[in-house]
Structure 1
Amino acid sequence: MEHSKVENLLVNYKTLEKFKRFKEYGNQELTMMEDLQNNIIENDSKSPFYGIYHGNNLIARMSLYEVNQEYDYYFEPSQDYLTLWKLEVLPDYQGKGYGKAMVDFAKSFNLPIKTSPRINSHGFWEKMGFIKAHYDMERDLGENPLIWLPEGVQEKELN
């Protein structure tokens, strides 16, 4: 993998055009394009979208949202955490460390992370140190979430 830098993506129509190269797999996924269209306000607004460029081409992307501790059903004690959504690397760039670079970037915030993996991606998330969450099943919403815990953070045991 060449030098890759994860950067915050601008919320604008140029980014929307770059998103058209990505395809979502699995019918449970919403497209990031819809998220981006809903967030287009100003070119310089802080966005929840991050990506890696190879030259001028966006080759990897993800959404990263901070969740306030009052909505925390996963960690003990309750705290702010990140939700990592829709991590995707273009097929020609898969298996070259770009997905890991994106996850490592999310981990650098040193907050717990929750993700809902795509079908057939559990092996990737296990390699990244994510584990199955213990939580209130009524709040599952069909997600089957996985979590990553920074050192010293405990997950809740809800039965």
Structure 2
Amino acid sequence: MEQIKVEKLLVNYKTLEKFKRFKEYGNQELAMIDDLQNNIIENDSKSPFYGIYYGDNLIARMSLYEVDRKYDNYFAPPQKFLTLWKLEVLPDYQGKGYGKALVEFAKGFQLPIKTNPRINSHGFWEKMGFLKAHYEMERDLGENPLIWLPKGVKEKATNS
């Protein structure tokens, strides 16, 4: 099997055109087009977007945001963590390891990760080592976040 390469996506109009392909597949709830448009300044701006290309086609993508420790209500002691948001693989490429490659890439930063999975995706996240968070932040509004912990990091206990 070929080596899967995750790349930081440039914040530019060319990437915006590639993102439109995802929206055409009916995944408007995951469309990052608005996110990208809001971040377009220049190619060298700091991008939260990562993706995998198959040839010239962007086939998988995610947003990965670093969150400062002052907003951490998940881990003990409070620390900086990543929010993995909007992981998506085009239908023709699903089940081929591309989603897993994106998650493994995120884990490579060795920071705790929080995600809010889509409906029917819990099995994927469990295989990737994510667990249900016991301590929910008010702003998650019952979205049932899942977390992944690198070795040596402890989750905060529930306040009950």
Question: Which segment drifts farther, 1-10 or 50-59?
Answer: 1-10
Check if 1:90 corresponds to 2:76. Answer: no
What is the match of residue 61 of structure 2? 61
Normalising to structure 1: TM-score of the pair? 0.93
Task: Measure, in 1, the Cα distance between the counterparts of 2:139 and 2:48.
Answer: 23
The count of corresponding residues between Structure 1 and Structure 2 is: 158
Task: Measure, in 1, the Cα distance between the counterparts of 2:136 and 2:149.
Answer: 18
Task: Measure, in 2, the Cα distance between the counterparts of 1:148 and 1:14.
Answer: 33
Q: 1:25 to 1:68 in 2, by over 3 A?
A: farther
Please report how far the alpha carbon of residue 43 of structure 1 lies from its aligned counterpart in structure 2 after TM superposition.
1.2
Q: 1:137 to 1:107 in 2, by over 3 A?
A: closer
Say which SS state the counterpart of residue 22 (structure 1) adopts.
helix
Say which SS state the counterpart of residue 143 (structure 2) adopts.
coil
Please report how far the alpha carbon of residue 31 of structure 1 lies from its aligned counterpart in structure 2 after TM superposition.
2.4
Any unmatched runs of 5+ in structure 1?
none
**Superposed, which structure 2 residues align to 1:6-45 within 5 Å?**
6-23=6-23, 29=29, 31-45=31-45
Q: 1:25 to 1:113 in 2, by over 3 A?
A: farther
Say which SS state the counterpart of residue 83 (structure 1) adopts.
strand
**Superposed, which structure 2 residues align to 1:2-151 within 5 Å?**
2-23=2-23, 29=29, 31-136=31-136, 138-151=138-151
Q: CA RMSD in A?
A: 1.6
8 A contact 1:26–1:119 mirrored in 2:
no
CA displacement 1:24-46 (0-9 Å, x = unmatched): 8778x352111000000111212
Any unmatched runs of 5+ in structure 2?
none
Q: 1:45 to 1:141 in 2, by over 3 A?
A: same
Normalising to structure 2: TM-score of the pair? 0.93
- The AA in structure 1 aligned to 2:120 is N
8 A contact 1:26–1:118 mirrored in 2:
no
Question: Which segment drifts farther, 87-96 or 133-142?
Answer: 133-142
Q: 1:112 to 1:137 in 2, by over 3 A?
A: closer
Q: 1:140 to 1:25 in 2, by over 3 A?
A: farther
